[in-house]
Structure 1
C-alpha cells in the first residue's frame, strides 16, 4: 500500500476546499447568523440569577501569651564609658546612666579628694563599673591636680566600704603616624591633622637651621612618626618625634632622632650629621640626670610633665649663659625657687631654676654674652637636692632643650652603626607615607 498517497489525500482536500469560491460565499453568508447566536448567549447569561455574596463574620478571641522565663542575673561586671558633657557632674552623669546608689553618692560628696579633682572636664571620659542589675562598683576618670599634673581619679567599692584615690596612671608609649599634604599653611594643616602643639613646635625647630615651616607652600608634604603616651587608649602627652620628612618644592628633607642615653638625644640627617648647631655651650659642665617629658615627681608622688632637663651639678656650681641674650626675669617663685629667664631671640627663651643665689648685680634688661655667669646651682623651691633645672621655650611653649638648643655632639662609630639601623626602618615608613598622595591621620 502506498502510504504517501494516503498522507497526501487530506492535504489535497483542504487545498481544494480553500480554493473553492463557494466555500468563501458560504462563510460570508453565515456571519450574521453567528453574531445573533453570540448575542443570544450573552443575554441569557446576564438573565441568570447570580449567587449571593458570602456573609463576613468577625470573631474576637482573647489569647494569652506563653509565660516567659525570668532573666537570671549573671553577676558579671563590665565597664561602660560615657563622654562628659558641658555642665556634667558625677551625680548627673550617673543619673543619666540609670545608676541610683545613694551610698556611693554620699561618699563622693564626703570624699577625701578635693572638689577640683572631682570636677569633670567637658570632653573627658568617665568609666563606670556596673553589673547587669545596675549596681555601681566603681568609677574612674583622668584629671589635672592643683600642680597641673595628670592623675587618675578612682572611686571604688572594696567590700562594704568605698574608697578614693588620685595617683599617676600607668601609661604606654605608642607610635603615632601623620602625613599632611599641604593645601594652605603648614601650621593649619598640622593642626587639622590633630598634631599636638608641642609636636608642631618641635618640628619647626628641627628644621629651623634649613628653612621655616612658614616657607612651605601648597603641594609640599610633611610626614611624621612621633611618640604618644596613652592610658587605656586615651592620649595624655606627646613624646619625641622619632622621624620626620618634609618634601619642599620636590626636595626631600629628613630628620631622625637618636637617643644618646636614657635622658637625652638629638636629631640627625640620613647621613648621621647633626641638623642643628645649638648653643655654643651648656650652662653647666655636668650630665643630664632627668630629661624632658612625662616623669614621676619624687616629692609630689604623681606623674607630671617635666618641661625641661635637670643637670646633676653640685651646689654652688656657676651657671653660665649658653648664648648671647637679654635678661628677662630675675625673681623668686614658689615651685622653682630662684629663677632667671634669658631671652635669646624674639621667640626663644631659656629658664634656669632652683638657684642658690643670683649673680650679684644681675638685673632685668641686662645684656649677657655666652659664658657670662648668671647664678649658682642650688636647691631652692620644690627640689629634692642640688641640681640645675633648665627649660627652653619657643613662643612660650616648652620644648626639649636637648633637641632644640643645646650643643649636638657628633656620633661615635658605634653610635653611627646603631643610628643607621634605626633610621633605615623609619626612612622606609616615611617613604611609604610620601608615596601616598593624600593626608594620613592614624586613629590612635
Structure 2
C-alpha cells in the first residue's frame, strides 16, 4: 500500500471543498439551521428554575388642565355651501343648522326682488355663523333683470339687517387650456371646462378661414384667455388673448391687440387682420366710448358686464345697418329703451339700443340693405346721455362686436412694433401648452 497517497487525501479534499461553488452554497444554506441548533442547545442548558419577571399594571389618574371656554357668540366664521337642486335660502340655512328667525324673516321681507333671492343649482352660498347657529350674513352671486352678475349680500350691521345687490369687485387672471379633438371641437372644449362665451368667441376668430366644427379627431386647440375672479371664484370671462389651432397638419394662430382702452381685434402672427368684418360701422365716423367687458355703469354706479359697445354720438344721428339683414325686433325694452335687432344669418344678430326714434316704416320681417337707416341716436331707457349701444350675438351669446363684426383696420408701423412685442410673450405661453401632454392640460 502506498501510504503517501493517504497523506495527500486530506489536502485534495480540502482543495476541492474550497474551490467548489456547490459546497459553499450548501454551507451558506445550513447557517440558519446551525443557529437554531445552537439556540436550542443554549436554551436546554439553562436552569428550568429561572422564571421571567412578572409584569405589573399601574393605573394613575391624571388631572387635565382647565379648558378655557371662549364665548361662542364672539367667534364667527364663513362657511361655503353648494346649492343643490330645489334649494331655497331657508332650506339651505336649515341644513346648516341656522335657527335665526329674525334673519330669515328679514331675508324674505327685504327690498330685494324674489328673482334675486332665487338660488341657482351649482352656485355657492357663503354664510357667516357662530357655533350657536346664529346668522350674521350671507352672500351669493346671481343675475339681475338685465342678465348682469351681481353680488347679493344680506348682512347684520349692529342690531339691524341690510340688503344689497351690487356688482362684485373682480380681478383678472390668465387661464390656459389645451385640448385634443376626439369627437368634436365643441365637445373637447366643454370637457375641458372652457366657458361657452370663450367657445363662441373662438368660433368667430377663424370663421373667415374655416368653421370650428370642421376640426377632426387629432386636431388640437391651445388657448390663453382672461378669467375674472371674485374671491377666487370664476365670475365671467374676458377676451381670448391668444389661440393656436393645429388643423389637418396646418397651424393657425391669432393674437388679440387692443387699439385703445375700449376696442381691439385679432391678428395673425404676421400682424395682418384675421377677419374682414362688416363693411360699415352703424354710426359713421363715431368713436367707441365704452367697450365690451366689465365696465363702471354710469347710472348704477357699479361695475357691470357691458355686453356690447357704445358709440359717442349726438341725438338724431342716423344709425345704419352695417350689412344686409332682416329686421328681427322693433320694440321698447326696459333698460334698452327703443331697440332694433337685425338678423344677418342663421347665427349672427346685432342689437341697437337707446334710439330716440325708429326709421319710419321699419318693422319686424323687413329687409334692409347695408347702409340703410334703421333709427336715430337717442337716450331712451337706462342712459345718462345720447349714444348708441350696439351688441353682437352669436347663437344668442353676446360677443365683442369689435372682434367679430366691425371692420378690422390695418395696424400702423408703431402698432405693429407693439403687437410684435406683445405677441412674443403670448407665443411663449402657447409653446408651453404645445409642449405639455394634452391629456394633462385637458384635465387641468
Could you say which TM-score interval applies, normalised by the shorter chain? 0.7 to 0.9
Structure 1 residue 215, shift from structure 2 partner: 1.1
Q: Which residue of 1 aligns with 2:66?
A: 69
Q: Which residue of 2 aligns with 1:374?
A: 374
Mapping of residues 259-408 of structure 1, within 5 Å: 259-284=258-283, 285-408=285-408
Q: Deviations over 1:234-278 (max 9, x none)?
A: 111111000011001121100000011111000001111000011
Q: Which residue of 2 aligns with 1:21?
A: none
Aligned residues: 384
Structure 1 residue 298, shift from structure 2 partner: 2.5
Cα distance change on mapping 1:100 and 1:177 into 2, 3 Å: same
Measured in 2, the distance between the counterparts of 1:115 and 1:366 equals 38
User: Are the equivalent residues in 2 in contact too, given 1:151–1:302 (CA < 8 A)?
Assistant: no
Q: Which residue of 2 aligns with 1:192?
A: 191
Q: Deviations over 1:149-188 (max 9, x none)?
A: 2211222222233322222111111111111111111011
Measured in 2, the distance between the counterparts of 1:359 and 1:108 equals 46
**RMSD across aligned C-alpha pairs, in angstroms?**
2.4
Q: Which residue of 1 aligns with 2:121?
A: 122
Measured in 2, the distance between the counterparts of 1:411 and 1:222 equals 26
Q: Which residue of 1 aligns with 2:236?
A: 237
Q: Which residue of 1 aligns with 2:33?
A: none
Moved more, 383-392 or 130-139: 130-139
Moved more, 379-388 or 365-374: 365-374
Cα distance change on mapping 1:292 and 1:442 into 2, 3 Å: farther
Mapping of residues 211-222 of structure 1, within 5 Å: 211-222=210-221
User: Are the equivalent residues in 2 in contact too, given 1:149–1:303 (CA < 8 A)?
Assistant: no
Q: Which residue of 1 aligns with 2:257?
A: 258
Q: Which residue of 2 aligns with 1:147?
A: 146
User: Are the equivalent residues in 2 in contact too, given 1:150–1:303 (CA < 8 A)?
Assistant: no
TM-score by length of 1: 0.81
Measured in 1, the distance between the counterparts of 2:323 and 2:110 equals 51
User: Are the equivalent residues in 2 in contact too, given 1:177–1:441 (CA < 8 A)?
Assistant: no
Q: Which runs of 5+ in 1 are unaligned?
A: 1-61
Q: Which runs of 5+ in 2 are unaligned?
A: 1-58
Cα distance change on mapping 1:79 and 1:387 into 2, 3 Å: same
Cα distance change on mapping 1:345 and 1:99 into 2, 3 Å: closer
Q: Which residue of 2 aligns with 1:409?
A: 409
User: Are the equivalent residues in 1 in contact too, given 2:169–2:303 (CA < 8 A)?
Assistant: no
Cα distance change on mapping 1:108 and 1:350 into 2, 3 Å: closer
User: Are the equivalent residues in 2 in contact too, given 1:77–1:130 (CA < 8 A)?
Assistant: yes
Q: Deviations over 1:72-116 (max 9, x none)?
A: 217443221111222323333233223333332333343333333
Q: Which residue of 1 aligns with 2:10?
A: none
Structure 1 residue 338, shift from structure 2 partner: 2.2
